[in-house]
Amino acid sequence: MLCKKKERFRRFIEYFTEHYPEPQTELNFNNPYELLVAVILSAQCTDKRINQISPALFARFPEPESLAAASADEVFTYIRSVSYPNNKAKHLVGMARTLLEKFGGEIPATVEELQTLPGVGRKTAHVILSVVYNEPTMAVDTHVFRVSHRIGLAPLTATTPLAVEKALMAHIPKQYVPKAHHWLILHGRYVCLARAPKCDECKLKEFCKYYEKLKPGFI
């Protein structure tokens, strides 16, 4: 019989604490400004792609001032290969200008303030707070959403990113939240794939609801 939710969370945390104690974002950055730019660009795009185009982008726009002074058309030439480059170019310029006008160029430290920046939604704001400020915030992207449901950390009734966020925050101790965000993303990116999950090599299958249905009687 499949373990209870509390037990499932405990085993999830124990496994990753032992095998991946210090998970990190796969986006390359040198400071909070660069991370913010990279996360805005990464929406519906791979980290690998962002890491390919970001060195030239950061070399041309190394701080908010140079980005704010640029035109969206110029920024576009550096990010043309990412998803939705026109919108993202406008968002980046608008973000830099707002960052200077409202926050003196400093990256805000609250969800509310971060979401006043163009191109920054709740997920992006939570990534910044988690990575830059080590705050216990859970950014729910497509990987976190999928893996949380498959393992059984989030109920099927949690049909929105916010609902999944609340379900995870209710059961993951605060000290593990910033790490758990990365654990779920990396597991979804390399093991619990959307179309062809690698269940045979997954170390979580012993308490995974998806695998229980896939292989009746295994658990």
Active site residues: 123, 141
Residue 3 is assigned to a ligand binding site: no
Q: What gap in Å lies between CA 173 and CA 164, rounded to an integer?
A: 15
Is 199 marked within a binding site? yes
Torsion from C-alpha of 204, 127, 190, 201, nearest 10 degrees:
-10
**One-letter amino acid identity for 5?**
K
Q: Which amino acid is at 59?
A: A
CA distances to 76, 111, 161 from 135, in Å: 32, 11, 18
Tokens representing 111 are 């969800």
Rounded to whole angstroms, the Cα distance separating 178 from 174 reads: 8
Residues annotated within a binding site for [4Fe-4S] cluster: 192, 199, 202, 208
Residues annotated within a binding site: 192, 199, 202, 208
